[in-house]
Chain A
Amino acid sequence: MSWVPGRRAFLAASGVGLAGLAGLAGCLGDADGTGGSSETDTATEAADSGSTQSATGRGSAEAASDGGDYSTDTSVLPTRDQPLPVEWSFARLRDETLSGGPPKDGIPSVDEPSFWSVSEADEFLAPGDIVFGVAGESDVKAYPQRVLVWHEITNDAIDGENVSVTYCPLTGTAMGFFRGETEFGVSGRLVNSNLVMYDRETDSRWPQVLATAISGPFEGQSLTEFPLAWTTWGEWKAAHPDTVVLSEETGHVRNYNRDPYGEYNPPRGYYTNKNTLFAPLSADDRYQEKAVVVGARPREGAVAFRKESLREQGLLTGEVGGTTFHAVYDPALDTAHVYRGDGTDLSYADGQVSVGGETVAPDALPLGRVVDFDAMWFAWAGFYPETVVVA
């Protein structure tokens, strides 16, 4: 079963670090904005980081100096204690940010989502249609790709926590973020073909894949995340018959039966060909542009597991910055889970994982879980040219 968590439970399980504020200040003190956040923060990672950083550093200082009525109070928007790795300077990322055509909010987020039951959704979705699933402790929800391709962001709540479920069609990335008391919207701009979100509290700009603000009061800070399962409607409802599904009653009228970019069921158009709308930040021709990788970027750096190899082998292991990471294939949902290794031997057979002699489901390994998400290869390689690749 895929899980997802109350936020604190999730952060504990995923091993998100609690960095010292000193290390954080070092990052935020990068006054010229040219430093990416792949700095070597030596703060010791704690097991749990349900807490978020206080309003310190550059963001608040900027807000004060320009007289803006901003708040980088993390009760408004929770951020990570230790920013996620970013391999490009923020200045370069800002320079590479282009208009995708629509203006700010020209692609309207869904701010008052409504949901269908399984039987209602069956009228709309075919078993092979893509959905992005999240199974919380009390809320189990699926977000159809066919709806999100028109909106890219849904501001919702799961288990009482405000979240944004986000999807970028051009990079094939579906990601979940905790949004606190604010909302995210679509800025209309793209970097490396990826959706650039903005928060409605400060208008900071957050490329979705990086989950790190590249401009605005939150520059240099990273969002807290939760994983979404990129799966099919048929697989999701079989695993979660109690799920609800984001409906097409979004407050907007759109042709939800038409995908302007192509089709996933069956795959065609932009989702399978070699074309990218914009040139990637850096090109890597090891795989076809739209080949899918399962990417993770723990503090040690970026790692990508080729999804096709995961389907074939079930278990892939790679090393990043001296730490071992395991990607485990979950055939029930055609998805994967990434864990931080602790030296225990793993083996995989018949969709189950043997951990030190004990057999467990792919989503229940007794190891620290790392947020992962599917991405098109060109997008991952563009953002993370130093990525470790496991195939």
Chain B
Amino acid sequence: MTGLVDRGRAALSKTLVAVRGAVVRRDARAILVGVSLLYLGLYLYVLGHLRFTGGGGFDSLVVSDPLARMFESRGPLAFEPVAALVVGPLELLVAPVNVAIGAALALLVGVNLAVSFLAWRHPAACGIGSGARGSGLLAGLPALLSGTACCGPVVLIALGIQASGVIVASFGFLVPAAALLLLGSLVYVGRQVDPTVAEPRTG
């Protein structure tokens, strides 16, 4: 039992080092930021809150009492948009709680891929790099899952899947499940990164 706790603590510690490496190393940081922004954009697009209008200019609209209404539930982990922003060719409906959920998931996906990159470039020991690559790809699965979660039954309609009460109820669990999977895969791949990766390099 003590051994299990120690191993878990060590894995967590290695993961934190790997995450720090993903932040301090320029190439990994580029992946982290790029993937996170891409995922957040995709999340908001699939949610129907971000679209390309092709127009231009700047416009904004805020509903009355936005602070209270931003917490109104519109579905499983979907919340009320309280503002609309038009910036050039992009239109964004701002549902602050959904932006926060999307940003958290996006950050997890970005960190997963950045750490996977480090595990590939800087493996902890020879011979496990390929495993790290696989686990990096693993991060895509929960990302897909959480993307499905945001739109609930609409996704079923698009796919032509007939729903049941159980399926519809399960949509409420997809985002938390995706977040847990992302944390799990992060620890899995994080412990395979060279522990010196975040240290300053000389020469």
Contact = CB atoms under 8 A, between A and B. Distances in A.
State whether these chains interact.
yes
Interface of A: 98-103, 106-108, 251-255, 257-258, 260-261, 269-270, 273-279
Interface in B165-200: 165, 168-169, 171
A277 B157 contact: yes
Given A102-B75, A103-B73, 13 more contacts: A99-B165, A100-B168, A101-B76, A101-B152, A106-B73, A108-B72, A108-B80, A255-B51, A258-B51, A261-B157, A269-B158, A277-B162, A279-B162
Interface residues of B, number: 35
B74 interface: yes
A59 B69 CA distance: 34
Interface in B76-117: 76, 78, 80-84, 91, 93
Given A99-B169, A253-B83, A260 B93 contact: no
B49 A255 contact: yes
B83 A261 contact: no
Q: What is the interface of chain B mostly: helix, strand, loop, or mixed?
A: mixed
Contacts of B75: 101-103, 106
Contacts of B63: 251-253
B30 interface: no
A275 B160 contact: yes
Contact of B162 (A99, A100, A278): A278
Contacts of B64: 251
Given A99-B169, A103-B73, A106-B74, A253 B157 contact: no
A98 B153 CA distance: 12
A260 B64 CA distance: 25
B154 interface: yes
Given A103-B73, A252-B63, A278-B163, A98 B51 contact: no
Contact of B168 (A101, A276, A279): A101
B81 A275 contact: no
Nearest to A262: B157
B199 to A, nearest CB: 48
6 closest A-B pairs by CB: A275-B160, A101-B152, A253-B84, A102-B75, A98-B165, A101-B153
Nearest to B93: A253
A270 B80 contact: no
Given A252-B63, A253-B63, A255-B49, A277 B81 contact: no
A274 B157 CA distance: 10
B48 interface: yes
Contacts of A269: 157-158
A257 B74 CA distance: 19
6 contacts: A99-B168, A101-B76, A106-B74, A251-B64, A252-B81, A253-B84
A254 B51 CA distance: 12
A270 B51 CA distance: 21
B48 A252 contact: no
Contacts of B72: 108
Given A100-B153, A101-B75, A253 B61 contact: yes
Contacts of A276: 162
Given A253-B84, A254-B93, A255-B48, A270 B168 contact: no
Contacts of A277: 153, 156-157, 162-163
A279 B163 CA distance: 8
Contacts of A257: 51
